[in-house]
Structure formats: structure tokens, C-alpha cells
């Protein structure tokens, strides 16, 4: 039984490790195009923030460990270029230019996602960088170490862009952020996004919204031109999003889902039942809408890898799906969400009702208390809880998990408001902000 | 329609306020034996920790506001002494010694709980104090301000005792804690309680377990004698537990439940359907065991008060019950739990399986990460999640709410492990500690 895996990061290495744990005799081969496997991509902004830290600290497990201790045939520098489904063979080329082919009985596509590169003149100039792979992180860190970088223009204002903004500010670098759209964090309720925007601007970051970047010019060393504005920069970082690496799957005739991610069923099988997909290249079921979605995040990549390994080993594992839970930190703010916002709820056919409340991070009269702003969405027709968004300086990141579990269980707002959440004065009010929001929302349902 | 309430703290004033919101014309009367209403009792240790803070800061809403803005007949200094169910009258005496009586159509007993006073010689000496009411807090604060208190002996090692230990250490006071039992925090898994014990001892606190206190003697000024040990003290604080104030209900022939708390149904009615009980004096349904329990905590008091008011106003509200979620802070540790421990699960007829795991508060290689120790209990027979306990320096307090919501929904461990919890490097590992514990527990179920 040959289990072949294309891609050696979260989903791929989780699958390889679990398959060998399930069945130590299984022939498990991983084809990884880079030299890096199993690293914490999400940790890169925090590593970049500190010049003293070695970026290789982010490697969770080294290639030798997978090879020697776990018995996985881990082939780095191996780029897969084609899947021959009839012959059950993957073809490719290694870093020496040598062609290779590997047969499989069961195949996992775990090719991840790539940073979108801006399609504008000057995007290829030295000093114009992106952040997705560990090697991208190395390049950014090396560039910051070698050049006297005083100002960075970041293209994009999504959560990676904001995490990098924080990292660069921690190094005392001036940051200018640009995006073509007029709305800062458009997926976030406007009252909440205004708080985030205020914090970012108060942190000395210049935000330029509403003008698309037209070109990047050589100057001293770089100039970013967008509409009426132009910005001198020592470095440009493109953080304008990611796209699933599904070309290999598409070329092999496999079905694609939202955003051209590889379409998978609850068992993580593609439209070819001997081929699985997991991680950032694969789509998922959204438990609130019941529909397919593409929200590439680390937990589902690891979980998907495990599920594939279990199914390859003859267990019958079905992943129910995701609720779209995420959190990020920017400067001293935590921003979290789970489930649907009003637009997504409307698009999915719900009749959303939204409330925004302000609560506090600690009890009445407790020192050090700060505001927590909560938006909560429920469905007028069924009374179901549909989503929560939250912004605050403390107590936001883990607080989002209670409504995430509620969404998993398809709870109504009326039921959620009865849940028994923890209280002590240093950690929140008697009525947790989640319950205060739910109490408020219940009045409108 | 006369709605009469005995007790003016969390449950009583929540009920009074909500009844007037529901029905502004309702005749709502509250009999409160002390001069204080609506204060944050849980906040007292944190207020006592800081000599500069006024303890009246803990008053959430003043009596005048309830009277003048909300139209509640709030009678402070009114001690209820008897309920005449046949005549539907409550009798009592006020602080001037005047007898009173008030008729009711519907009655709420919200008499709370009292600190247990040690039944030993010397318990009545000056400087031997307890903490339950705001006036208790005032006395402690006044005593600390007037006397030169260098050493306090705390009787008891429960969570109030530990919060007070932290408060006194913050004032640089030596603390000695005693209890007759041999086990520190016996409800907590031994690996977790060892961490708490180590932290408390490292904080300079002397723990003396296994000897009951025999007497408190006048010395210079006090001496606490327990077994072979005796401790000189400037002040003695009894934190040996609380007991429900159910004497009035019992004298009126109402049924009592666990720990002699007033027995209530899901509508919060006692065995007399025109008499409700809520707050620390009342029992509750435990959602995991399905059985009655007495776990007096602030959220259920507030929620119970609301439910009573809604039912009195003709709505039909049923409270499903509690899952026993709580958290406390001691020195730099957070200690949280929800659901059942192994002993409680066994007693309730489950076949509990327990795991203890150590995870981290932040992602791989993220600076500032600390250990989070998690104990999780599942049922061998049904696969249900039964309980979680957790100890750590950060990320514990709100993390307990995800399994609390899972318990509310009677989830299996296999389902809980699929929940979509938030991840970002500053806030936890990719697999949240809750999921790591559940993954581990699943292997044994």
C-alpha cells in the first residue's frame, strides 16, 4: 500500500505522521518542492518582529526526524508537476533538474496556497517581497538585516498585512498600508473595524484606502504610485491575499470548489476517490451555511491531514466542517470572529439580525478593565445563532470559542444565553460579554 | 399584584429590576436586612488588596437609584423572620426594632448564603473575621487599616480563602493557611492541584494541612492552635465555606435540596408555587448529571432573578440548569473547571476516564509561552464529555467556556474534538489545549 503525499507542511506532514502511527508498515512518501517542512507559517510575523530570533526556530520538526525516527520517505526539493490518474503516478522534477515519478495507491494533495503577487509594473523589483513560505520569511528578514529599512509600504490590509504591520512597527519601521477598496476590514462590523483602524493609526501607521497601486518604480530605492499618491519606500510587502495551489489538481481533471480550491467531501476525498486533498488547497463545508467555503487556516489543515491518514488506513472518518473561527492580534488589540457576518448570512439565505454591544474585560470596579466590543448575528426565522465578532485589548481570543462551539451545535440564541460561562472579577463581568450580546440580540429575534 | 422579594443582592435586585422593566405598574417590594444592596461580593478580595480603594466602589447600583429611578419599594434594614404561607404574609423586624408585615401575591426568597463561622473556642475574639457581606469586607478593611497587621492566619483553603491569600500578600502581609483535611484543593486533579500548591508556597504562604484548628487564644493579639502547631497572628480570617440561608424557607415548610438549599424546579418555584427561590440560597439542576446540586455562583444568581421576574410577569421561563463552570485567580495562576471530576462522575453513575495533558499558552517558538495543564473526563459508556479542569498563568479563564458550552449540549468527546476553535500564535498552539486533551482522551474511550 503506497500512500503518496504532495506537500510537506501542516496537512501533508500531519497526514504522513499519523499514517505511520496508525500503520508503521505503510509506505508513506512525501514530495515537498522546497527544502522546508513542518514549520509554523503563522509565527513568521512574530519572528520577523525580533531581529535576534533565528527564523529556523519556527521549524516544528526537522526533515531528518520525519525520515529517521518516523520512517517517512520525505523527499524535499521535489516539485510534482502532473498527476496521471489512469496510471496512478505522480510525475515531477527535483531541484537538480532530474525528472521523477512515484506510483501511489492513495494520494493526498496538500499543496497549500500561494501569496497573490500584484500584477503591476515593478512587482518584480528587488525589495518587493511577499510572505507565505518560510523562504519568503527568510528573504524578508535578510532584507531587513542588510538594508537600512526605514519605511515599508504594505499592499493590502488583511490580517497577515496587519500582523506584518505590527512586526515592522516593533522594529521601529515606518509603515504605510494601501488598498484599492474604501473599506477597512470590510468583513468586520463597521463599529468594530473603526476601533481597529483607530488603533492602527494611533500606532503611527498611515492608511491609504481607495486607490489601487498602479506601479512600483525604482527610486531611492522604491516608489509606490497609487492614484494621486506616491510613497517612497525602502521595501514593499505585498499582503493582498492568498490563492489555493490547485493547478495540479485542476490539470488532472479534479473538481474545484469555491475560489478554485480543490473540492473535497466530508472524508476529504476529491472527485477521484483515491485522491484526497487537505490544507490550504482544499475547500470545506461551512457548518452554519451547510455550503462549501474556502477559509484556509492552520487547524483545519492539521485536522484534515489526520482525517486523510485515518481514511487511507481504513478507518472511516468524516469531518463535519468548519465554523470559520479566527483571531488575530494587531498592536494591542485582539480581533476575533466565528460564523457569519450579516452579508454572509444574507447570501446564505438567512434573515440576519445584528446587535453590537460594549462590555468590559473585567468586573465592575476591577482595576485594569478595558472595553470589549461584541457584534452578534442571529437568524430572525429560526432563532439560530449565526455569528460573533469581537474586538478588545484582552479576553477576546479565547472568548470566541464559546460561540464557536455553540455554532457547531447549531444552537439558538435563546439556548446560548443559558450557557454556564465562567466568572471571576479579573476575567470579566458576571454576565460574560457573550451572554450580554446574546441577551440583547434575543430582544430583537 | 404584589411581588415581594426577601434579599437585596444579586438575585433579589435582578428580579426586582427586571420585574419593573417587564411591568412598570407592578408593586415590587424588597426586604433587605442590611444597609447594602447590589454590590459585587466577588470583587471584595481585590478591593481589600488595595488600601487606597474605597470598598463602596463595589456597589453596582445604589439603593436610591432602585427607589427613585426604578420605582422599587426597597426597604433596607428590614429582616424577614417568618413566612405565613396561609395568609401570604412575610413578617419581620427592622433595625429600629419595629415589627413589620408585608403581604404578597408572589414571593421570592433570595436570602443568599452565609460564611460558616468556626465552632471553636475563641471564634468570637476581636480580629477573628469572615468575608461574605459587604459589611464583612468593611470590617476587614478597617481592621487592616487600624491594626498593624503583619501576619494573618486563614482558616480554609477554598477559592475565597485563596483569593484572600492573594489580597493579603499584595499588602505584604504574611499568610498562614490551615485546613483539617490532608488534601489541597481536593476537588482538583492531583497533578493540577500540585501546581497551585507550589505557586502558593512559592508566593511565601505557609500551608498547614491535616490538623483541625482547636481554638483561638488571646495572645499578642491572637494565637491559633491546631494539633501540634500554633501560630501567632494579628488577624484570623475564617474562609471555611458558605451555607445557604434557608432557615426561613425551612420554617415555612418548603422543601430543601442538596446542602439544605431551597429546592426549586426549572421555573425557580419552591414546593409552594407562589414562592420562588433564587441565588445562593437555592439549589439547581446539574446539566451533566441531571441531578440537583448546590453550587452558589454569581451568574446563576443573576440569571435566576431574571427568570423569577419573567415567570412572575406571566412569561413561562424554564432554566435548563448549570454545568458547574467556575474560575479563580491565585497569585499568577488561573484555575478553572466545568462539569464533573472523576469522583463526581462516579457518584453520578458514569464510568469516567480521565486524562491530564500539558500544553502551552502560545504557539511553538512564540515568546512568553507558559504551560497550561488540562484534565479532561469522558464517559466510557456513552463517549460523553463530562468535565474539564485547567491550570495556567494565562489563557485559562475564558478557555474553559468552550467545554462549558459543549457540556450544555451534551456533546461526546468525539464531537468536541471536531469543534473549530480560534488559533493565532500569541494565543495558543494550532491545536488548542482543549482539543489536545480531547484527542488524548478519545484514545482511551
- SS3 of residue A249 by DSSP: helix
Q: Which of B42, B299, B407 sits opposite A431 (nearest CB)?
A: B299
Q: Is the per-residue pLDDT at B364 higher than 90?
A: no
Query: With 90 as the cut, is the pLDDT of residue A364 above it?
Result: no
DSSP letter (8 states) at residue A263: P
Is residue B173's pLDDT more than 90?
yes
* Tens digit of each residue's pLDDT (9 = 90 or more) over B236-282: 999 999 999 999 999 999 999 999 999 999 999 999 999 999 999 99
B38: distance to nearest CA of chain A, Å? 11
Please write the tens of the pLDDT for every residue from A51-65. Answer: 999 999 999 999 999
Q: CA nearest A395 in B: which residue?
A: B398
Under 8 Å between Cβ of B224 and B154: no
Name the residue with cell 438567512.
Answer: A350
Contact B287, B408 (CB under 8 A): yes
Decide if pLDDT at B365 tops 90. Answer: no
CA of B363, closest CA in chain A: separation in Å? 8
Given an 8 Å threshold on Cβ–Cβ distance, is B402 in contact with A397? no
Pick B420's closest partner by Cβ from A323, A336, A426.
Answer: A323
Q: Give me the total of CB pairs closer than 8 Å, taking one residue from chain A and one from chain B.
A: 222
DSSP 8-state symbol, A16? H
Asked if A320 is an interface residue toward chain B (Cβ–Cβ < 8 A), one would say yes
B363 touches B342 (CB < 8 A): no
Average pLDDT over residues B296-323: 97
B299, A424: Cβ pair inside 8 Å? no
Contact B420 A10 (CB under 8 A): no
66-125 in chain A: CB under 8 A from chain B? none
For A140-152, write each residue's pLDDT tens digit.
Answer: 999 999 989 999 9
Enter the pTM of the model. 0.97
Please state, for a pLDDT cut of 70, what percent of chain A lies above it.
100
- Distance from the Cα of B406 to chain A's closest Cα (Å) equals 7
Asked if the C-beta of A423 comes within 8 angstroms of chain B's C-beta atoms, the answer is: yes
**For residue A228, pLDDT beyond 90:** no
Question: Is the Cβ pair A363, B43 closer than 8 Å?
Answer: yes
Chain A environment of B325 (Cβ under 8 Å): 420-422
| String of DSSP letters for B282-333 | B-EEBTTT-SEE----HHHHHHHHHHHHHHHTT-------B---EEEEETTE
A108 contacts: CB under 8 Å, gap ≥ 6 = A3, A4, A5, A6, A7, A11, A12, A15, A275, A276, A277, A278, A305, A308, A312
What is the average pLDDT value for chain A, to the nearest integer?
Answer: 97
Please answer whether residues A107 and A275 qualify as being in contact, where contact means their C-beta atoms are separated by less than 8 angstroms: yes
Among A120, A103, A121, which Cα is nearest to A31's? Answer: A103
Contact yes or no for A402 and B401 at CB 8 A: yes
A179 to chain B, closest Cα gap in Å: 24
Task: Give CA separation, B46 vs B58, B168, B200, B421, in Å.
Answer: 10, 10, 17, 32
Give residue-wise pLDDT tens across range B203-218: 999 999 999 999 999 9
C-alpha cell at A209: 484606502
In the prediction, which pLDDT does B227 show? 83
For residues B219 and B128, is the Cβ–Cβ distance under 8 A?
no
Question: Can you give the pLDDT at residue A322?
Answer: 98
Asked whether the beta carbons of A379 and A350 are under 8 A apart, the reply is yes
State whether residue A324 sits within 8 Å of chain B by CB: yes
Q: Which pLDDT score, from 0 to 100, does residue B91 have?
A: 98
Nearest CB to B323 within list A408, A420, A423: A420
Considering chain B, what is the average pLDDT of its residues? Answer: 97
Partners of residue B411 in chain A, C-beta under 8 Å: 405, 409
Give the pLDDT confidence score for residue A277 in this predicted structure.
98
For a pLDDT cut of 90, what percent of chain B falls above it?
Answer: 98
Distance from CA of A426 to the nearest CA of B (A): 8
pLDDT in tens, A292-306: 999 999 999 999 999
Cβ contact A329–B299 (<8 Å): no
Backbone angles phi, psi at A185, to 5 degrees: 45, 65
B165 is catalytic: no
Q: Does the beta-carbon distance from A427 to B334 stay under 8 Å?
A: yes
Q: ipTM of this model?
A: 0.97
For B338, residues 6+ apart whose C-beta sits below 8 A from its C-beta are A420, A422, B323, B324, B325, B326, B387, B388, B400, B401, B403, B404, B407
- Whether B46 sits inside 8 A of A409 (CB atoms) is no
Whether A269 contacts chain B with CB within 8 A: no
pLDDT tens for residues A130-139?
999 999 999 9
Which chain A residues have a beta carbon less than 8 Å from that of B41?
Answer: none
Between positions 334 and 353 of B, the ones with CB within 8 A of A are: 334, 336, 338
Running DSSP on this structure, what letter comes out for residue B142?
H
Residues 6+ away with beta carbon under 8 Å from A302: A10, A11, A14, B430, B431
Cβ separation B303–A418 shorter than 8 A = yes
A235 touches chain B (CB under 8 A): no
Which residue among B40, B403, B411 sits closest to A364, beta carbon to beta carbon?
A: B40
Q: Do residue A43 and residue B425 have CB atoms under 8 angstroms apart?
A: yes
> For residue B147, what pLDDT band results from cuts at 50, 70 and 90?
confident
Amino acid at each position: 500500500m503506497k500512500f503518496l503525499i504532495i506537500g510537506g507542511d501542516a496537512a501533508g506532514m500531519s497526514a504522513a505522521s499519523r499514517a505511520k502511527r496508525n500503520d508503521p508498515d505503510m509506505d508513506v512518501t512525501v514530495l515537498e518542492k522546497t527544502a522546508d517542512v513542518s514549520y509554523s507559517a503563522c509565527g513568521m510575523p512574530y519572528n520577523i518582529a525580533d531581529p535576534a530570533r533565528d527564523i529556523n526556530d519556527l521549524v516544528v520538526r526537522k526533515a531528518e526526524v520525519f525520515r529517521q525516527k518516523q520512517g517517512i520517505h520525505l523527499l524535499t526539493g521535489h516539485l510534482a508537476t502532473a498527476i496521471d490518474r489512469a496510471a496512478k503516478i505522480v510525475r515531477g522534477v527535483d531541484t537538480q533538474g532530474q525528472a521523477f515519478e512515484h506510483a501511489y495507491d492513495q494520494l493526498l494533495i496538500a499543496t497549500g496556497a500561494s501569496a497573490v503577487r500584484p500584477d503591476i509594473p515593478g512587482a518584480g523589483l528587488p525589495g518587493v517581497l511577499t510572505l507565505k513560505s518560510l523562504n519568503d520569511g527568510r528573504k524578508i528578514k535578510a532584507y531587513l538585516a542588510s538594508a537600512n529599512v526605514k519605511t515599508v509600504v504594505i499592499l493590502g490590509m488583511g490580517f497577515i498585512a496587519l500582523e506584518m504591520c505590527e512586526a515592522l512597527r516593533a522594529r521601529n519601521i515606518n509603515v504605510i498600508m494601501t488598498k484599492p477598496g474604501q473599506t477597512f476590514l470590510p468583513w468586520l462590523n463597521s463599529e468594530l473595524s473603526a476601533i481597529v483602524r483607530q488603533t492602527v493609526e494611533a500606532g503611527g501607521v498611515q492608511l491609504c484606502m481607495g486607490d489601487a497601486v498602479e506601479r512600483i518604480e525604482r527610486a531611492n530605492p522604491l516608489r509606490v504610485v497609487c492614484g494621486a499618491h506616491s510613497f517612497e519606500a525602502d521595501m514593499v510587502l505585498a499582503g493582498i491575499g492568498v490563492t489555493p495551489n490547485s493547478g495540479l489538481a485542476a490539470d488532472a481533471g479534479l473538481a474545484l470548489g469555491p475560489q478554485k480550491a480543490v473540492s473535497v467531501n466530508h472524508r476529504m476525498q476529491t472527485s477521484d476517490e483515491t485522491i484526497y486533498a487537505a490544507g490550504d488547497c482544499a475547500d470545506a463545508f461551512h457548518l452554519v451555511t451547510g455550503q462549501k467555503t474556502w477559509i484556509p487556516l492552520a487547524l483545519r489543515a492539521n485536522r484534515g491531514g489526520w482525517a486523510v491518514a485515518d481514511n487511507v488506513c481504513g478507518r472511516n472518518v468524516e469531518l463535519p466542517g468548519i465554523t470559520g473561527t479566527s483571531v488575530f492580534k494587531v498592536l494591542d488589540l485582539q480581533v476575533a470572529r466565528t460564523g457569519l457576518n450579516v452579508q454572509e448570512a444574507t447570501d446564505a439565505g438567512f434573515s440576519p439580525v445584528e446587535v453590537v454591544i460594549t462590555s468590559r474585560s473585567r468586573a465592575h470596579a476591577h482595576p485594569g478593565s478595558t472595553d470589549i466590543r461584541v457584534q452578534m448575528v442571529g437568524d430572525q426565522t429560526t432563532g439560530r445563532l449565526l455569528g460573533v465578532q469581537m474586538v478588545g485589548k484582552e479576553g477576546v481570543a479565547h472568548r470566541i470559542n464559546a460561540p464557536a462551539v455553540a455554532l457547531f451545535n447549531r444552537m439558538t440564541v435563546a439556548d446560548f444565553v443559558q450557557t454556564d460561562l465562567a466568572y471571576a472579577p479579573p476575567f470579566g463581568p458576571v454576565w460574560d460579554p457573550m451572554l450580554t450580546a446574546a441577551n440583547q440580540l434575543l430582544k430583537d429575534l
